[in-house]
A = this chain, B = another copy of it.
């Protein structure tokens, strides 16, 4: 919870401790006192140590971060430097505690720093974190992924979602002997050159049109269409007959905020790609093992040709993967001629994290639970929005959710951009002060975990109503 330092913004340097000493109920009583005393005055959030560390970081790392969206540039305010995480909680370096709805952008689906995963990691690291050579654990995680994900008969592990999408793209081009690809506006598939066209995530967050340093030749084969617009896709197939290697999409968008596919969209894509000998690639880096154990493809019952994975599959360590039909995957070196390699790919430590994370997710009730609490969360926030007179829309599927400050509906990136990002920024900051951590960007989905409790959800919804009243 936000540390309560007193009325107004008196800031004294409290010692940094991992967990705040104040109890949650004590905090709530104190905050009620403050609110009664000062009506809509917001609580001050002490972030002195965050400021100190982040200021130092700006001299060392571009923008002070190793990934753009962490710099809070679209929401403003002091970026928060974290000290530790556990379950559904995060603690920053000033000792503030937050309920976390970023979950490290997806990996933390069973909760941060899970005890069983950690115990397995400790056992494994004693035997070595990396061999640069085959190990049994690669087979174990591969079997789990292949058993889980309908389209995947064979899989290649890599070190990130970016590497997975790069590999899948090269493979699709090699398999079809074609070069053009279709992606959707606002979708993000990692930062390989061909994907930096109308990309979501940080590109959208920072309002970048395209990135400098990407040659036109690298993106000239990348065709784009608005998400959910099957007619636009049909037009592209007409004017590029026999030339399209693949259609790639997030089956549920997370990188432009949370956007679900229209009822027939995925099916229509499956049909048109089949008719044209084009591969359908589901980028399940966010949705994989989160919408269902078998991902979006299981949830919607549509089987693509290739699937990319990441985040959850690494259980908090860097892992990506691409997989699909055996005949396609067997083009990948050394089975076939399509080159892709990685020194740390399949390392035993990352495999261990993935194996134990997936194991937890096979326990009955996981996805029902996620559906339940996430529904409570989103509906709670949207109801609060209604009651406080804000135009909002949003939704969830199992453990993935989002909301926009616009009346909606939001079917694509253009719709998403109608959101009042200034208001989102104020909401974001207000929630931080209430001890709730959402993604510092309107154009990112939210994530829950098995460690989030009903109490967490209640607190969050209460806090949302407080904040929505005053922004």
Contact = CB atoms under 8 A, between A and B. Distances in A.
A93 interface: yes
B202 A338 contact: no
A215 B139 contact: no
A287 interface: no
Contact of A70 (B80, B134, B136, B218): B134
A311 interface: yes
Contacts of A113: 125-129
A93 B136 contact: yes
Given A60-B155, A79-B134, A90-B131, A65 B334 contact: yes
Contacts of A175: 213
A68 B121 contact: no
A161 B343 contact: yes
B213 A107 contact: no
Nearest to A67: B341
Contacts of A104: 130-133, 343-344
B154 A60 contact: yes
A160 B163 contact: yes
Interface string A157-200: 11111110010011111110101000000000001111010010
A330 B65 CA distance: 12
Interface stretch (A27-35, A51-59, A380-388): A51-59
Given A112-B128, A172-B213, A333-B63, A102 B133 contact: yes
B343 A82 contact: no
A121 B125 contact: yes
Residue with the highest number of chain B CB atoms closer than 10 Å, among A62, A139, A215 = A62
Contact of A316 (B81, B128, B201, B318): B128
Given A60-B154, A62-B329, A113-B126, A134 B54 contact: yes
A134 B62 contact: no
A268 interface: no
B156 A61 contact: yes
A271 interface: no
A350 interface: yes
Contacts of A236: none
A318 B350 contact: yes
A170 B214 contact: yes
Interface size class of chain A, counting residues whose CB lies under 8 Å from the partner chain: 35 or more
Contacts of A155: 60-61
B67 A345 contact: yes
Interface string A200-213: 01110010100111
A319 to B, nearest CB: 8
A458 interface: no
Contacts of A85: 127-128, 131
Contacts of A314: 344
Interface in A103-139: 103-108, 112-113, 118, 121-122, 125-136, 138-139
A353 interface: yes
A86 interface: yes
Interface of A: 18, 50, 53-54, 56-71, 73, 79-86, 90, 93, 102-108, 112-113, 118, 121-122, 125-136, 138-139, 142-143, 146, 154-163, 166, 169-175, 177, 179, 191-194, 196, 199, 201-203, 206, 208, 211-215, 217-218, 220-221, 310-311, 314, 316-318, 329-347, 349-350, 353
29 contacts: A60-B139, A60-B143, A62-B332, A65-B334, A65-B346, A66-B138, A66-B345, A67-B346, A68-B333, A71-B334, A81-B136, A84-B128, A85-B128, A93-B136, A103-B132, A104-B131, A113-B126, A129-B316, A166-B192, A169-B213, A170-B193, A199-B339, A202-B333, A208-B339, A211-B333, A212-B331, A217-B217, A218-B218, A311-B343
